[in-house]
Amino acid sequence: MVWTPPAEDIFRRSEQWHVRIRGLHKTFGQHQVLRGVDLDIARGKINVIIGGSGQGKSVIIKHIIGLLKPDRGHIVVDGEDIVPMSEYQLNRVRRKFGMLFQYAALFDSLTVEENILFPLIEHGLRGPGHNDGVRRRMSRAEMRQVALEQMDKLRLPHVLLRKFPSELSGGQRKRVGLARALVLRPEILLYDEPTTGLDPVATKNVDDMIRDISQREGVTSVVISHDMASTFRIGDRVSMLYEGRIVESGTPDEIRRSRHRYLRLFVETSGTVQLDPVPDSELVDGDGPGEAPR
């Protein structure tokens, strides 16, 4: 059974859903990457998008933050469709987002402190969340205090502030990248393959960091990953992208009971997650979800 999204008003602000995507299509040249993506991002939860290499996970992330425009479809953030927005309007919406890139994307020529403070220096303003009603430039002392606070939140020793990215471990670079993403106090954090290139212990530490930040800050997290152990360790909601569509969405327990043949192959081939047994006769191969997203 192919799931058809219900007729609903996705343009109203929802307490349950922070971002809502309907009918998203994107083609690059002759290559059709997204073929009608329907996806809901739960507010205040860790939402993990899984799928193979080249399936379009990063393309979805770039659409959510407005870096790409779809061929057609809707991307609704807090009740606002960002697809028809101008660059000026998008800049306002982008303040809701912070992003941790795959390899942290720190500036090699800047110290850890300068990397963390880069968004504040660029904006030159007090970050969101300060309710004194004044939009003024921060002093260097105030910005340094922000850097110290971020280091404490992510359990990084202050001595690292004077070091350069090349002097950090992979896990430390990820944490510094997250500190930079958090400095403007975003509502939504985007993680692009956050555990890539890390050993098992560092991976577990990054997973704990994502979960800790989600619970402490109350942010909505969107994680794209092909790491199944990490996905089932931290995800509140998991969505599978396959052949340009979301073929299944649900809690980790619901995903364990999935009847979608490719999803089961993808997850179990990792060797780290065992799904609930399903008779062969009940498996589905459709290009849409075998069950409606929960």
- Residue 102 inside a domain? The answer is no
Extract the residue ranges of the chain whose pLDDT is less than 50. 1-5, 7, 127-134, 288-294
Q: Return the DSSP state at 137.
A: P
63 shares its domain with 198: yes
179-215, pLDDT tens digit by residue? 888 888 899 999 988 887 778 888 888 898 899 889 9
Q: Where are the strands (E) in the chain, listed by range? A: 17-28, 31-42, 46-50, 72-77, 80-81, 97-100, 188-192, 220-225, 237-242, 245-250
178 shares its domain with 232: no
pLDDT at 8: 67
- Residue 1 inside a domain? The answer is yes
174 shares its domain with 290: no
If one counts the domains in the chain, the total is 2
| CATH assignment of the domain containing 273 | 3.40.50.300
Contact between residue 49 and residue 224 where contact means Cβ atoms under 8 Å apart: yes
225 shares its domain with 146: no
39 shares its domain with 1: yes
Domain that holds residue 171: 108-186
Residue of 41, 35, 21 lying closest to 191 (CA atoms): 41
pLDDT at 258: 93
- Residue 135 inside a domain? The answer is yes
pLDDT at 129: 45
pLDDT at 294: 38
Burial of 17 (0-12, 13-18, 19+ CB in 10 A): buried
- Residue 52 inside a domain? The answer is yes
18 shares its domain with 127: no
167 shares its domain with 244: no
